[in-house]
Amino acid sequence: MNKGMITMLTNSLQRGRPLRLPSSSTSADIKGLSDLLGLASPGHILCVPIVTPEKDTLGGVLLLSPYSNRLWSAEDQAFLSNIAVSLVPIIQRGQKMTSLEQKGEQTRQALDVAQARIADLERQNQDLLKQIDAVRADAQEGLSQAENLAEMTRIQDEAQKAIERLKKENEELRAGKGKGGAAVASGQMESELRLTLEEVARLQNQLAEANMRMVELEKGTASAHFSEQAEVIASISQELRQPMSSIVGYTDLLLGESVGILGALQRKFVERIKSSTDRIGNLVEDLIQVTTLETGLNELKPEPVDLNLIIDNAMSYTSSQVREKNISLHLDLPKNMAPIHADREALQQILIHLLQNAGAASPVEGTVHLRVQTRSEQGNEYVLIQVTDSGGGIPAEDVGRVFTRLYRADNVLIQGVGDTGVGLSIAKTLTEAQKGRIWVETEAGVGSTFSVLLPIAKNVMARTAEF
């Protein structure tokens, strides 16, 4: 509507004032309304603005009398004003609904983006699984190489049998030495046979040496190929971090309701997306650690480490898991804790994996205990770290495979263990690489305690005593 054609009406609405115009008025609004509505004459005009208690104009109610030519009175104006007041909450509610619908559409679009990123992440995860299958296939090739070695051994056995047969023929020839003119021929044959035996023995030695070289080459080739596959897997795992960070950012944005208010069901779905993304993130971290573990062991750098700081970082890393399941975490730490001479990152990973396993194994509203003690054994000082869960314990027949890597691929899940089968294996490898020990004690129906015993270097203890 062209506001320039109805200036008085526009002014009235903007100022929040009612307006009455008789049909005899010379105002341009009379002609303007006639042209806008296609009327010969709009008749008498009554306009009442719809104003909020905060004096904001939402619109207006306009009455015309083009046919009855009714003259609007003050009573009509008061009645229409009451109607306008009653329309305020209705219009405001409609505006809120429109705003919510717009925000809901934005939320749906953001969810579509997040779901698309998750689908892309799943496709990349499938590619990663194919890489892992390729590594396993290479291991199967190692078996076929072993079969080739077995074939070579069989050929060697046949050569040995041929030697024995030739020896037997030699003995038979010797037995016929005394028979006239055959003696000379027999001597020549014996000489030729001896040379043949020496040649066979030489070839046999060369075959054995060739077998040894082949075994060494096969080991070197398999090791190099596995190292190359591990680098590819680690590279893909690193690339997975970027799309996962985007998904986490989108879910945090949605949960913060900065782009619109979420309904109860929408919030539930977004929280599930965030939980699943965090889970995938942990699996990717485990995969990176597994593929780089062997090379990383050679790069461990022992140094004096403050265990209090390590514990704080591990608790912060696993805090979301604890909050999600409303788990009670109890600490039992000594007042004065000596530094540990260990690799900082390795010790951090050990404690994180133990706390993650305890949190996953414990039920909702469960309890996790973290204890740290110092021990002396045979004149050496050790620190004992224990993490106890309330997961109901581990069956006795399954305790032996708790620290076995990838136990889920070949065996059923272990009751009372919340780890994927990789984290505890990583913790064991990192512990033993630092001359420590790790073990588990379990009580049926109660829970399990994972213990890590690490040495404290004497020079560190001496410096601590001086202070």
pLDDT tens per residue across all 467 residues of the chain: 566 778 888 888 888 889 888 888 888 888 888 888 888 888 889 999 998 888 888 888 988 888 888 888 888 888 988 898 888 888 888 888 888 888 888 878 877 777 777 777 667 667 766 766 676 666 555 555 555 556 555 655 665 665 566 566 556 655 654 444 444 444 555 555 566 556 555 655 655 565 565 555 545 544 555 566 666 666 666 667 667 777 777 787 788 877 778 788 888 877 878 777 777 776 677 666 666 565 555 567 888 999 999 999 999 888 888 888 899 999 999 888 878 889 998 999 999 999 999 998 999 999 999 999 988 877 788 899 999 999 999 999 888 888 876 544 445 578 888 766 678 888 998 999 888 999 999 999 999 999 999 988 655 444 444 43
Sign of CA dihedral 169, 170, 174, 180: positive
Q: How far apart are CA 11 and CA 450, in angstroms?
A: 79
Q: Identify the CA nearest to 229 among candidates 366, 98, 135, 129.
A: 135
Cβ neighbours, 10 Å, residue 132: 16
- Cα torsion 244, 250, 251, 254 to 10°: value is 180
Secondary structure class of 311 (helix, strand, coil): helix
Q: Which of 392, 414, 391, 393 is nearest to 404 (CA)?
A: 414
Helix (H) or strand (E) holding 210: helix 182-255
Element (DSSP H or E) covering residue 206: helix 182-255
The burial class, CB within 10 Å (0-12 / 13-18 / 19+), for 425 is buried
The whole-angstrom separation of Cα 354 and Cα 427 is: 8
Question: Are the C-beta atoms of residues 248 and 277 closer than 8 Å to each other?
Answer: yes
**CA-to-CA distance for 396 and 305, rounded, in angstroms?**
35
**What is residue 450's predicted lDDT score, i.e. its pLDDT?**
96
- DSSP, residue by residue, 34-74: HHHHT-S---SEEEEEEE-TTS-EEEEEEEE-TTT-PPP-H
- Tell me which of 3.30.70.270, 3.40.50.300, 3.30.565.10, 3.40.50.720 is the CATH number of domain 300-466: 3.30.565.10
pLDDT at site 178: 45
Helix, strand, coil tally for the chain in percent (to 5)? 65, 15, 20
* CA–CA–CA angle 397, 398, 403 (5° rounding): 140
pLDDT of residue 442: 94
CA distance linking residue 345 with residue 430, whole number of Å: 10
Interhelix angle for 74-175 vs 182-255, to 10°?
Answer: 170
Residue 169 has a pLDDT of 59
In the 8-state DSSP scheme, what is residue 261?
P
Strand partners, 377: 380
CA gap 366, 94 in Å, rounded: 47
Long-range contacts of 248-253 (CB under 8 A, 24+ apart): 248/274, 248/277, 248/278, 248/281, 250/110, 250/113, 250/114, 250/117, 251/114, 251/277, 253/110
Is 70 within 8 Å of 11 (Cβ atoms)?
no
AA letter at 85 = V
**CA distance linking residue 274 with residue 459, whole number of Å:** 46
Residue 118: CA atoms inside 13 Å, Cβ hemisphere, count? 20
Q: What are the domain boundaries of the chain?
A: 3-72, 106-273, 300-466
